[in-house]
């Protein structure tokens, strides 16, 4: 399993914010823990724009982290930007419906600064799976494998 990088893109990111998030992620209370690796790093990456993640940030990070799952975490000051981002990517019908999104094919996700949302999006990435119309979005056992990536568990 490859290390998952959790990148806090809030402009006010601090060591204290990193430690708080690490603490919150260490709780085994989200229901996703059995589906995700304990091999992760939380890093400040303040100032990254949500609107440049796909076109600039991910391609640059892929130069040094070619296969690692990436989770970009936005703070409250980026909530409006996230709604615009998700509307632009999937259509206005998704505006205000979700706090996170995983692009399994490209190996990255965007999530709010909430440990449950982060773990949910990590489960998508690390399992290489998505929920469908017939699956329970909160139960990864019902999700469908959509991709094969270096970090995906082997199919049994």
DSSP β-bridge partners for residue 100: 111
For the sheet with 70-74, list strands across it: 40-44, 4-8, 70-74, 108-112, 100-103
Tens of pLDDT, residues 2-60: 899 999 998 889 999 999 999 999 987 888 988 998 999 999 998 888 889 999 999 99
Our CA angle for 72, 98, 55, nearest 5°, is 40
Total-model pTM = 0.89
Cα separation, 152 vs 146, whole angstroms: 10
């Amino acid at each position: 399993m490859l290390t998952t990088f959790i990148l806090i893109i809030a402009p006010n990111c601090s060591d204290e914010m990193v430690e708080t998030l690490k603490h919150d992620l260490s709780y085994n209370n989200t229901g996703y823990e059995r589906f995700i690796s304990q091999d992760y790093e939380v890093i400040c990456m303040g100032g990254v724009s949500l609107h440049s993640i796909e076109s600039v940030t991910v391609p640059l990070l892929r130069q040094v982290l070619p296969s690692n799952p990436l989770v970009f975490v936005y703070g409250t000051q980026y909530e409006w930007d996230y709604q615009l981002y998700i509307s632009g990517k999937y259509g206005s019908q998704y505006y205000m419906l979700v706090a996170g999104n995983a692009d399994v094919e490209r190996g990255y996700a965007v999530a709010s600064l909430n440990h449950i949302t982060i773990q949910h999006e990590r489960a998508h990435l690390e399992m290489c799976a998505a929920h469908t119309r017939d699956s329970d979005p909160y139960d990864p056992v019902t999700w469908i494998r959509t991709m094969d990536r270096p970090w995906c568990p082997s199919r049994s």
